[in-house]
Amino acid sequence: MAETKGRIEPYHHPAAGWGALKYVAINLFKERVSGVNYKSLFAQNQPDGFDCPGCAWPDREHASTFEFCENGVKAVAAESTSKRVTPEFFAAHTVTELLQQSDYELEQHGRLTHPMLYDPVGDKYAPVAWAEAFKLIADELNALDDPNQAAFYTSGRASNEAAFLYQLFVRAYGTNNFPDCSNMCHEATSRGLPGTVGIGKGTVTLDDFEHADTLLIFGQNPATNHPRMLGELRECARRGATIVSINPLRERGLERFASPQHPVEMLTMSSTPISSMFIQPKLGGDFALIKALAKRVLEMDDRAVLIGVRRVLDIDFIDEHTTGFAEFARDLRAEKWALLEEESGVPRSQIEALADVFMRGERVIATWGMGLTQHKHSVPTIQMLSNLMMMRGQIGRQGAGLCPVRGHSNVQGDRTMGIEEQPAQAFLDRMERVFGFVPPRHHGYDVVATIGAMAEGKVKVFVGLGGNFAMATPDTPLTFNALQSCELTVHIATKLNRSHLIHGRKALILPTLGRTEIDMQAGAPQGVTVEDSMSMVHISFGLNKPASPDLLSEIAIVARMAEATLGERYQLKWKDYRDDYALIRDDIEKVFDDFYDYNARVAKPGGFHLKVASREREWATASGKAQFVPHKIALDTPIRRARARHGERLLVMMTTRSHDQYNTTIYALDDRYRGVFGMRRVIFINQADIDMLGMKAGDWVDVQSVWDDGVERRADGFMLVAYDIPRGCIGAYYPETNPLVPLASVADGAGTPTSKSIPVLLTPAVAS
Ligand SMILES: Nc1nc2c(c(=O)[nH]1)N[C@H]1C(S)=C(S)[C@@H](COP(=O)(O)OP(=O)(O)OC[C@H]3O[C@@H](n4cnc5c(=O)[nH]c(N)nc54)[C@H](O)[C@@H]3O)O[C@H]1N2
Ligand SMILES: Nc1nc2c(c(=O)[nH]1)N[C@H]1C(S)=C(S)[C@@H](COP(=O)(O)OP(=O)(O)OC[C@H]3O[C@@H](n4cnc5c(=O)[nH]c(N)nc54)[C@H](O)[C@@H]3O)O[C@H]1N2
Ligand SMILES: [Mo]
């Protein structure tokens, strides 16, 4: 089904600026946010307000000045909408009817108000009492032959308290099946960094941005996805720091920025240039590019030794803090320049120019997003990036370090709290000691494994704590079948989405409070805590009246699910926990030493920084040192094999976010900075590739992925948009393109679907 009303109009303005303000106004109006809720916009990320549900970028000590952010405003407006999805709404629509609506339309219906149970007779959801809903879940869970026949998904908005209780419940019930959104997101970071620096988290804080002289931004689109990061980059740029954008797609939002925080910039229509250098590797070319930079650093160090000038390598750091350098250097020396150039898609002259910038930098921060994490070789890529930074001791000192930029506002905290299908044994020992039950020891299913297990009938109950599992995951038709073959699907959610409609034989939708809402328990307002992308933990209090009197908090839902399922087993204090969230924090503190004095420390404005050992140059690796890990360029890959078969017609597709979406939530149909308006079914493609296809910009195509399992995977009806992107690489939006991602196509060692490198063929659209 082709959209025809859209238009393409290149964007020539700075990011943010007046455009952002205008869009905010339109959005607020459209969402029909009630007057009283306006004030909540000014309370996000304030000391006594709530943590913005928009993204995981930290805020300056929950600063006293209002930080304007389009992303945050949209997220808050979407949650504060006055529209409601009531029992009457469900009575008026069958599920089959609702399935005809687009994700955008489903989002527009507003907030869920009542717990709902699917009625197969009328093919409709009907209201159900909370107690009955919990009893149904308990009965289904207790009827399973094995607890491993259930899977418990988490989306990264869940608070620390909700996540901790959830994993406590699920482990007491008896499984480690914790698929979570980070499996699809920064998993390669979480699995890659422990091998090099000992912990899967970033090593910088916002303070380091004030001291950095060089910033390398890999595979990220902050103007859309982390707008407050642009404010930091602006300050860096004004101070004279060099900012390099490494991205196949020339993101206009990384070129110039007009800060909404600075009235003069706004009034004079001026702006600050952000990136001074743009490197455009081919999709997935970062691994070879970073390895090439490392090789160049080594060569320049050889030269320095030869002519007797200051070393380029930080020899002291390497000697004192690392292992494996000799072998790593041997591998670098053996690598051929021609292969590095070919695989990265970056000419040698540009590699050398970028290496110069890196070597000139005294204090370098490397940031990265999904552009590095959603490829087959993402773990080696991230390890190579830490190798590169370690060569010059750019980790664990002021103004320098590794900075993975996370997505969901508490995705990092959820993992810290034990949402992890491969839990560490030491953590399980601790759980056992504190709570007195024996937690399951073997690994559970991640997202991809859960889908496979559902499809094979091995997982029969699916519970989703937030998120939109059906749309966020790969291989859409297969995933839909998998979910539909479940005995029971349960979704704890704020708004209606497609996952609620792709349901099991029995199905529940459990409506919950959003983070912006007042959470009263046993007569007292409760706060919840979150950990941002830079390991700052702080407390968040909702301010708005709940969307419906029938909502329960996520914590109350989890606790009551647990009570119903486990009964008196293990004497866990479910009722106490839900009456007073401070008691949950007391028990979190018993399990994790770094959370000592938890309640006292989050009571302070700004909260506290959770220790990241690598930041202190303490290395929690097997060797007790930071480890250089060599990696070869893989020459036998699905993409290479597909290209050998199809030649230049084989294109590699990345799937990204437009400006007006939050993951699977489609707020509106524009992608302002990329110049797409009123439509989403577009493909960004190099003009030379359009010519190669014998087509022209504006033509419509169907897309088919190339995979060797005999399954036809296609997505039809996309318009070609000529764009500044390397030949052989194309871009499109997710989730529309998820049917193209084969379930088996994952990052080695992380299991992340390869959403940024899908081998595809384009053909003229059959029905447009
Ligand atoms: N408004 C808004 N904000 C969000 C979200 C949202 O959907 N909307 N989602 C949140 C979440 S969960 C996340 S994880 C983050 C995601 O934030 P990002 O990491 O910015 O995610 P994407 O939109 O997928 O964009 C990836 C960027 O990587 C580039 N890229 C793609 N492939 C490659 C590659 O091979 N190499 C390099 N170097 N670059 C590449 C793309 O051109 C694009 O600029 O944002 C969070 N914030
Ligand atoms: N092809 C492709 N696929 C991708 C990606 C990609 O770049 N390309 N990105 C991946 C990434 S990085 C991520 S993080 C995942 C995202 O996967 P998910 O986290 O599963 O998806 P979201 O779209 O963020 O979930 C939105 C839903 O969450 C619910 N919700 C919102 N707020 C709350 C709340 O406070 N509590 C509860 N209980 N529910 C709430 C609402 O019902 C809303 O519809 O998608 C992944 N999938
Ligand atoms: Mo994400």
730 lines ligand 1 (CB under 6 A): no
Domains of the chain: which residue ranges?
A: 85-183+413-525+545-574, 188-404, 638-764
186 lines ligand 2 (CB under 6 A): no
Kindly report the number of other CB atoms within 10 A of residue 396's CB atom.
Answer: 24
**Could you tell me where the beta strands, DSSP code E, fall in 349-460?**
364-368, 401-404
Considering the chain, what percentage of its residues have pLDDT values greater than 90? 83
754 lines ligand 2 (CB under 6 A): no
How far is the centre of ligand 3, averaged over its atoms, from the C-alpha of 652 (Å)? 21
Q: Which of 570, 547, 572 is nearest to 559 (CA)?
A: 572
Residues 243, 264, 236, CA angle at the centre, nearest 5°? 20
Radius of gyration of the chain (CA): 25
* Residue 131 backbone dihedrals phi, psi, to 5 degrees: -60, -40
Name the closest-CA residue to atom 16, ligand 1: 407
User: Which atom of ligand 2 lies closest to the CA of 664?
Assistant: 23
Could you give the 3-state DSSP secondary structure of residue 130? Answer: helix
Contacts 24+ apart (CB under 8 A), 348-351: 350/279, 351/289, 351/292, 351/293, 351/296
Residue 425 near residue 443 (C-beta atoms within 8 A): no
Q: Average pLDDT for residues 180-195, to the nearest whole number?
A: 98
Residue 462 near residue 444 (C-beta atoms within 8 A): no
Q: Which of 570, 448, 502 is nearest to 177 (CA)?
A: 448
Quick one: pLDDT at residue 267?
A: 56
Quick one: pLDDT at residue 4?
A: 56
Residue 253's pLDDT band (cuts 50, 70, 90) = confident
Task: Express each pLDDT in 283-319 by its tens digit.
Answer: 999 999 999 999 999 999 999 999 999 999 999 999 9
How far is the centre of ligand 1, averaged over its atoms, from the C-alpha of 220 (Å)? 5
Pocket test for ligand 1, best of 180, 185, 220, 246 (most atoms within 8 A of CB): 220
Q: Average pLDDT for residues 546-554, to the nearest whole number?
A: 97
Quick one: pLDDT at residue 263?
A: 59
Single-letter amino acid code for the residue at 305: V
User: Over the chain, what is the mean pLDDT?
Assistant: 93
Kindly report the number of other CB atoms within 10 A of residue 656's CB atom.
Answer: 25
In the predicted model, is pLDDT for residue 664 greater than 60? yes
* DSSP assignment letter at 439: -
How far is the centre of ligand 3, averaged over its atoms, from the C-alpha of 662 (Å)? 10
Could you give the 3-state DSSP secondary structure of residue 324? Answer: coil
Task: Express each pLDDT in 436-455 by its tens digit.
Answer: 999 999 999 999 999 999 99
User: How far is residue 289's CA from residue 615's CA, in Å, rounded to a whole number?
Assistant: 25
**Which of 2-11, 236-245, 248-257 is the most confident on average?**
236-245
User: Which atom of ligand 1 lies closest to the CA of 218?
Assistant: 38
Name the closest-CA residue to atom 12, ligand 1: 407
Could you give the 3-state DSSP secondary structure of residue 297? Answer: helix
655 lines ligand 2 (CB under 6 A): yes
Quick one: pLDDT at residue 1?
A: 41
370 lines ligand 2 (CB under 6 A): yes
229 lines ligand 1 (CB under 6 A): no
Q: Average pLDDT for residues 76-103, to the nearest whole number?
A: 95
Q: Average pLDDT for residues 496-513, to the nearest whole number?
A: 98
Residue 589's pLDDT band (cuts 50, 70, 90) = very high
Q: Which ligand is nearest to the CA of 254?
A: 1
Tell me whether the omega of the peptide bond preceding residue 735 falls within 30 degrees of 0, making it cis: yes
Q: Average pLDDT for residues 531-558, to the nearest whole number?
A: 95
Residue 265 near residue 25 (C-beta atoms within 8 A): no
Tell me the CB-side half-sphere exposure of residue 639, using CA atoms within 13 A. 24
Q: Return the minimum-mean-pLDDT range out of 70-79, 332-341, 737-746.
A: 70-79
Quick one: pLDDT at residue 597?
A: 97
Quick one: pLDDT at residue 56?
A: 87
User: How far is residue 352's CA from residue 147's CA, in Å, rounded to a whole number?
Assistant: 55
Quick one: pLDDT at residue 132?
A: 98
Task: Express each pLDDT in 603-649 by its tens digit.
Answer: 998 899 999 999 999 999 999 999 999 999 999 999 999 999 999 99
Name the closest-CA residue to atom 28, ligand 2: 467
Give the pair of three-digit tokens for residue 462. 């699916």
Kindly report the number of other CB atoms within 10 A of residue 309's CB atom.
Answer: 9
657 lines ligand 1 (CB under 6 A): yes
Q: Which ligand is nearest to the CA of 405?
A: 1
296 lines ligand 2 (CB under 6 A): no
Which residues partner with 246 through β-bridges?
A: 218, 279
Q: Which of 374, 59, 353, 360 is nearest to 219 (CA)?
A: 374
In the predicted model, is pLDDT for residue 265 greater than 80? no
Name the closest-CA residue to atom 11, ligand 1: 407
Q: Which of 461, 465, 451, 512 is nearest to 488 (CA)?
A: 461
User: How far is residue 95's CA from residue 118's CA, in Å, rounded to a whole number?
Assistant: 9
Quick one: pLDDT at residue 114?
A: 98
Contacts 24+ apart (CB under 8 A), 65-68: 65/261, 66/42, 67/228, 67/231, 67/261, 68/20, 68/260, 68/261
**Residue range 638-764, CATH number:** 2.40.40.20
Considering the chain, what percentage of its residues have pLDDT values greater than 70? 92
**Residue range 188-404, CATH number:** 3.40.228.10
Residue 181 near residue 154 (C-beta atoms within 8 A): yes
The residues, any chain, with a CB within 8 Å of residue 96's CB and separated by 6 or more, are 123
Quick one: pLDDT at residue 48?
A: 64
The residues, any chain, with a CB within 8 Å of residue 12's CB and separated by 6 or more, are none
In the predicted model, is pLDDT for residue 32 greater than 60? no
Quick one: pLDDT at residue 64?
A: 37
Match 């000529």 to its residue by tokens: 722
> Using CA of residue 738, residue 9, residue 109, residue 54, what is the dihedral sign?
positive
In the predicted model, is pLDDT for residue 151 greater than 70? yes
755 lines ligand 2 (CB under 6 A): yes
User: 160-173 and 581-591 are packed helices; what angle lies between their axes, rounded to 10 degrees?
Assistant: 70
**Which uninterrupted H or E stretch holds 370?**
helix 370-373
Name the closest-CA residue to atom 32, ligand 1: 371
CATH 3.40.50.740 assigned to 85-183+413-525+545-574:
yes
User: How far is residue 102's CA from residue 767's CA, in Å, rounded to a whole number?
Assistant: 19
User: How far is residue 547's CA from residue 544's CA, in Å, rounded to a whole number?
Assistant: 8
Q: Average pLDDT for residues 384-408, to the nearest whole number?
A: 97
732 lines ligand 2 (CB under 6 A): no
Task: Express each pLDDT in 423-435 by its tens digit.
Answer: 999 999 999 999 9
Single-letter amino acid code for the residue at 228: R
In the predicted model, is pLDDT for residue 26 greater than 80? no
466 lines ligand 2 (CB under 6 A): yes
**Could you tell me where the beta strands, DSSP code E, fall in 155-232?**
214-218
Quick one: pLDDT at residue 388?
A: 98
Residue 264's pLDDT band (cuts 50, 70, 90) = low
Task: Express each pLDDT in 672-729 by its tens digit.
Answer: 899 999 999 999 999 999 999 999 999 999 999 999 999 999 999 999 999 999 999 9
Quick one: pLDDT at residue 2?
A: 43
User: How far is residue 136's CA from residue 141's CA, in Å, rounded to a whole number?
Assistant: 9
The residues, any chain, with a CB within 8 Å of residue 621's CB and separated by 6 or more, are 194, 195, 196, 197, 198, 627
Residue 62's pLDDT band (cuts 50, 70, 90) = very low
Name the closest-CA residue to atom 42, ligand 1: 249
Angstrom CA distances, 699 to 1, 584, 591, 678, 716, stand at: 14, 57, 58, 17, 13
Burial class (CB in 10 A: 0-12, 13-18, 19+), 704: middle
